[in-house]
Structure 1
Amino acid sequence: MSKETLEIGETVVQAVILHQIGNRLRKEPLVVADKCFSINDSISNVILGGYLKGIVNNKNRYTINSENDLRLNDVFYHTSQFFEKKISFIDLSQKLATHLYTCCHHPNIGAGDLFIILFDCLKCNNEYRSAIGIYKSEIKQKYLAAVSDGSKNQLEIYSGINPDLIDKGALVVDGSEVIYAIDRLSSRTKYWIEDFLKAKQVPNENIKAVLTANVIEKIRNDICDPIKKQDFGRDILKLCKNRDFLINQEIEEISKKYVSPNSWSEELGKLMNQKGMVGIENINISTKNLQNKLKKIFNQVSLGNDISLIIPNDYSLCDVNLTVNQENISINIVLEAENG
């Protein structure tokens, strides 16, 4: 997937419309609007500072998940129709609201307000483009306001939407293969990313390191001999030495010396599928991030029988002999200092 830069400093808000999305399983209605709000500079600045700034982040990068035809993805299809000037902004917003309403497959999905926002003058790879923001607010925030009529002061409670705290959001940029998405309440239901957007996450640098470390740990656990476990770890750390980045195929080649040739690709594929992430053939991994995550993994060596050793950083395991009988377990360990 190509790398792109998105600059939002010159972005303006062109239009805003709100629809009310109920839960169809609870027989709550879908109420669609047919007019946009009037917006002034103050409202526009709040929207830009909250809804736009809050979603444009590398950790929120996703890509539309469609194995055959992107036009089969409802969000991509409807937004493309708008960008190609085949439907109006209001028509687009109503189609997105209807699609979201049909995606309510779980009784725990909360009703809420759906904001559809048209942004203009986003700078994507040095080109000005339009974008569609889709934001669903499921939780109203309570605010205290001081009210004075000249003779007395009092506090009043107001209920409203906080643009700085996005419940669910998506930003679709014209001509981009990347969308930005947030689902703050994903622990309850996963319909926003999986059903509504049908998107998969694009791993950022930290996620790549976490994924790689998890696969390395799984491969290491499949190595029975504790000495070979340690050798595998040493080979990985040697690969990282004096380098800023490495690619996953280099680690895969090392793993083939210790486990079956397909183990690495199979474990990586399963993990990325479980995490709902887009598959990437060549993963560039920051060695600094990776080494930080590998320290705890490599310092612990399993000997079997639910026994593990924590090896100090300055030592390596040279030999181990474990004897088990009915009454006790005998372990002989030889450690060697790294500096000899």
Structure 2
Amino acid sequence: MITFFEASLDAVSVHHVGNQSQNEMYSLSDNPLELQDEIIPNLLKQYFLTPFEKTNEVYHLMHNSGDLNLNEIYSFATKIFEDESTFHETSQLIARHLYSVSNHPKIKAGEIYVALFRQVQIEGELLDAIGVFKSENKETYLKVYPDKGGFSVDYEEDGININKLDKGCLIFNTGKEDGYKVAVIDKAGSQEAAVYWKDDFLQLKIRNDNFNQTTNVLGVYKNFVTQKLDEEFEMDKADKIDLLNRSMKYFKEKDTFDMDEFTGEVIGNPQAIESFKSYKEQYESEFDMPIADSFEISANAVKKQSRVYKSVLKLDKNFHIYIHGNKELIEKGFDDEKAMNYYKVYFKEEQ
């Protein structure tokens, strides 16, 4: 969890970065912004930091070679943390690095902000942090003001909505040997252009903690039920929804995940259990993300995943059936006379 009620913004530099593939250039400022009053710093803190209040995932910087010093952002962050007098000069290097990876045709030009914060809290620690942010989408704003006994309306184009941060990261001055703690925001407009911020510019790897372990198991299990089970077992959608509901019930009621307990209580069928474990191993190998057989369940991860766990049967365009409890109270059949499928639902009273 990230909070910033004690945070201060000590310095910020702004540059402009275009898209190489569109023959756009970059423009570097000569000096950092002058923060002379409290209004602009407070607005910038709201713009930069508010989106991170809802992030739970923690990443770290990495490099495929295993040598962290080859990660440009790691080197730049270390330089600033060790000698803050290099802040503006290093912010220019960060802007140049962003330009060097901005070569997909769908990447938008925009301003890059490099900021230095004090007293930002993550996981209970108050730490200095370096923020790197990019604004890509501009908006038009109307301004209404008193004029000659009434009101007049004017407008301003290419303004920035401080409630809509496009991209950002916070690099916290802790865990240097592991690539620092990093939180990230990326509201990419297209999947093709999305990878450049996390993968090419920052080179991030998610930290394999309880939040991520919980997220991974629920995600792998959901994909297994919705995509894999049909290949080996005959199941209708109501049965699949029941399996998903049982898994969510397990995670909401337990404090600790145990693989054997989970598969026994939720899946039950020995063949399906072996199939799930094999499916999980394929995921671990493909994404280089091992899943422990036992870990503490993250309530935040369960809450987040519950939003994408669907418990709805959609029947043509006429009916939706929400299945929350006992699947034995719903029966599926086929009416020969109407040549249509049907569901029979048992209940005691209407509400």
Does TM-score exceed 0.5, indicating one fold? yes
**Of 121, 126, 129, which aligns to 1:123?**
121
| CA drift at 1:42 | 0.4
| CA drift at 1:90 | 0.8
Q: 1: distance between equivalents of 2:251 and 2:162?
A: 44
| CA drift at 1:128 | 3.3
Q: 2: distance between equivalents of 1:157 and 1:247?
A: 55
Q: 1: distance between equivalents of 2:252 and 2:49?
A: 39
Local SS of the residue matching 1:14: strand
| CA drift at 1:233 | 6.4
**Greater Cα offset, 105-114 or 214-223:** 214-223
Which amino acid in the other structure matches residue 246 of structure 2? L
TM-score where L is the length of structure 2: 0.70
**Does the CA-based 8 Å contact 1:240-1:291 persist in structure 2?**
no
What does residue 19 of structure 1 align with? 15
Figure out how many residues of one structure are paired with residues of the other and give that number: 313
Is the counterpart of residue 182 in structure 1 residue 181 in structure 2?
no
**Does the CA-based 8 Å contact 2:284-2:291 persist in structure 1?**
no
More helix by share: 2
What does residue 253 of structure 2 align with? 243
Which amino acid in the other structure matches residue 43 of structure 1? I
What does residue 199 of structure 1 align with? 204
Is the counterpart of residue 57 in structure 1 residue 63 in structure 2?
no
| CA drift at 1:218 | 3.9
**Does the CA-based 8 Å contact 2:169-2:182 persist in structure 1?**
yes
CA distances 1:68-98 after superposition (whole Å, capped 9, x unpaired): 2322222122112211228711122111101
Q: 2: distance between equivalents of 1:291 and 1:36?
A: 44
What does residue 257 of structure 1 align with? 270
Distance 1:234 1:31, change over 3 A: closer
Local SS of the residue matching 1:56: helix
Distance 1:131 1:149, change over 3 A: same
- Unpaired runs of 5+ in structure 1? 301-309, 323-328
What does residue 44 of structure 2 align with? 47
**Does the CA-based 8 Å contact 2:213-2:291 persist in structure 1?**
no
Distance 1:225 1:156, change over 3 A: closer
Is the counterpart of residue 266 in structure 1 residue 263 in structure 2?
no
Is the counterpart of residue 142 in structure 1 residue 123 in structure 2?
no
Local SS of the residue matching 2:53: coil
* Percent of pairs with identical residues: 22
Distance 1:223 1:114, change over 3 A: same
CA distances 1:171-191 after superposition (whole Å, capped 9, x unpaired): 111115431211212425111
What does residue 318 of structure 2 align with? none
Distance 1:232 1:108, change over 3 A: closer
**How much is the aligned-residue C-alpha RMSD, in angstroms?**
4.5
**Greater Cα offset, 128-137 or 184-193:** 184-193
Q: 2: distance between equivalents of 1:86 and 1:150?
A: 51
**Does the CA-based 8 Å contact 1:62-1:179 persist in structure 2?**
yes
Q: 2: distance between equivalents of 1:235 and 1:198?
A: 34
Matches for 1:79-90 after TM superposition, within 5 Å: 79-85=77-83, 88-90=86-88
What does residue 36 of structure 1 align with? 32
Local SS of the residue matching 1:95: helix
